[in-house]
Amino acid sequence: MTAALLGGLGALITPSAAQAANLLSNPGFESGTLSDWSCTGNTGSVVSNPVHGGTKALAGAASATDNARCSQTVSVQPNTAYTLSAWVRGNYVHLGVVGGAATWTPSASGYTQLTVSFTTGASQRTAEVYLHGWYGQGTYHADDLSLDGPGGGDDGEAPTTPSSPRVTGTSTTSVSLAWNASTDNVGVTGYDVHRDGALATSVTGTAATVTGLTAGTEYRFTIRAKDRAGNVSPHSPAVTATTDETGGEDPRFVQAAPYLYLGWGNPPSPAEVVNTTGVKWFTMAFILAQNGCNPAWDSQRPLTGGVDESTIQAIRAAGGDIVPSIGGWSGNKLGPNCSSAEALAGAYQKVIDAYDLKAIDVDIENTDEFENAVVQDRILGALKIVKQNNPGLRTILTFPTLNTGPNSWGNRLIERAHALDADIDNFTIMPFNFGGGADMYGSTVKATHGLKNKLMSAFGWNEAQAYAHIGISGMNDSSDTGEVTTPQIWTQIRDWANSHDIGRLAFWSVNRDRPNWEFTSITAGFTG
């Protein structure tokens, strides 16, 4: 194996000794993402259990048609010895380097360390290391990988200093920043944002939002660029920002936004609904995928130039506004069709730019998005990116629930939102379809209590903070399973929501609320 890597000169040259350094980026997946790793067929995800060290590990979902291969390419020195190791768990887990050594374990019920050594060729400058399971053998786990040896020998050049740092937005608890890109002889891989001398966040683009700040407080920020070899630029010039004062305008995100769907049910005149009921927001359904990672209404109608854009204009002319619902139960969705968080963020950005939006809602349901760990993380990553790139934008996640609160997939979604620092403004549950005859008021309150408790546990919020991040999206009249929510019950739910200062109230749908817009009028009385 060594001779193959060294080629014809292998017998004449003595490999240099490796130095103690881990060349892999994100080796323990503690970033909470697959950053710097590439996994085939969206088979990789980051999990919090089981782990070997730290709090995160890789899960590779091997199937009958995909061995869940995850790889990373690093810079190396020619004619140099390296040692690759990983802690793995599962059946037929393989570890190796392309063109070099490999090893595997037939079965590891607990974490077992795999190790291989290899020597680079005389002119080799990169090495691709990989892990994979085996077809039909189920999910494997890996953690705490290490590639021990000296980094790419010729890259001792640091990136240039990020220039023109600037404040692009503030709130009571956050500051949004932007800067001009750095350059590097090989390539810039990311930026570290420092707050008052300490690392606050790391991003791959030229904008970031630092959260968790205190109202009415001045902060000082600098930015440093970094490359794959670990070279880091000098700090940028400092920029200062003061968070907004508490008081005055309500800093909370409060939205009463019943669904309006132009693809079904003789859609009503939105201006008539606004003028009759006083409602100011509509959740407008549904943005889906068209021809890959391209957003379109119902996968068919373009974002601009059609009935959807003219409807939005009519709503705004009447004094209202819209939040688009991206996803839903059925249809061809953006989450599975976009290949990465960055690509998905680009699709979301097209929607934001088309309508100059103040908020977006991702309705994450069914097995293709909600019950898919990779897609969950992709959606959260994309929402984090657009939040950073659009200061002031509000982000909403809408998802199903049990009558006791989030199910295991809902719990995971919340935990990952915290781990990825996605900065979601509102977690909206859909408390219905529990079964015919359910107590819709009692079940809704019970489910919302469960969500509140999960948010407090995951984020460390108090009750008031948790409620402020909660939304309820009900179903007027009869649900899919025959439950009945009457106007009287919906009024009870609205009043309970107001008394607990939750952040959002919606229902499906205005199209079904005829002839008097009774549920819409009740919803318009939601004040948070």
Active site residue ranges: 365
**Angle at 525 (CA atoms; ends 524, 527), nearest 5 degrees:** 105
Task: Give the residue among 136, 221, 129, 142 at the shortest CA–CA distance from 175.
Answer: 221
- Count of beta carbons in the 10 Å neighbourhood of residue 214: 10
CB 362 within 8 A of CB 336: no
Strands in 175-180's sheet, in edge-to-edge order, are 163-170, 175-180, 207-210
The DSSP symbol for 263 reads: T
Backbone angles phi, psi at 49, to 5 degrees: -160, 130
DSSP β-bridge partners for residue 39 = 70
Task: Give the residue among 110, 129, 109, 107 at the shortest CA–CA distance from 118.
Answer: 129
Helix (H, G, I), strand (E, B) or coil at 367: helix
Task: Classify residue 327 as exposed, middle or buried by CB count within 10 Å of its CB (0-12, 13-18, 19+).
Answer: buried
Q: How far is 205 from 331, CA to CA, in rounded Å?
A: 31
Q: How far is 268 from 488, CA to CA, in rounded Å?
A: 23
Long-range contacts (CB closer than 8 Å, 24 or more residues apart) made by 435-442: 435/481, 435/483, 436/481, 436/482, 436/483, 437/482, 437/483, 438/403, 438/483, 440/474, 440/483, 440/484, 440/485, 440/489, 440/493, 441/489, 441/492, 441/493, 441/496
Q: How far is 432 from 475, CA to CA, in rounded Å?
A: 7
Q: List all residues 6 or more positions away from 395 whose beta carbon is below 8 Å from its beta carbon.
A: 359, 360, 362, 383, 386, 387, 422, 423, 424, 425, 426
Q: How far is 462 from 178, CA to CA, in rounded Å?
A: 32
Any idea which residue has 């408390």 for tokens?
431
Whether a cis peptide bond, with omega within 30° of 0, leads into 302 is: no
CB 158 within 8 A of CB 227: yes
Q: How far is 57 from 142, CA to CA, in rounded Å?
A: 6
Element of type H or E holding 307: helix 307-317
Task: Give the residue among 218, 214, 234, 221 at the shortest CA–CA distance from 177.
Answer: 221
Any idea which residue has 């996640």 for tokens?
397
DSSP β-bridge partners for residue 7 = none
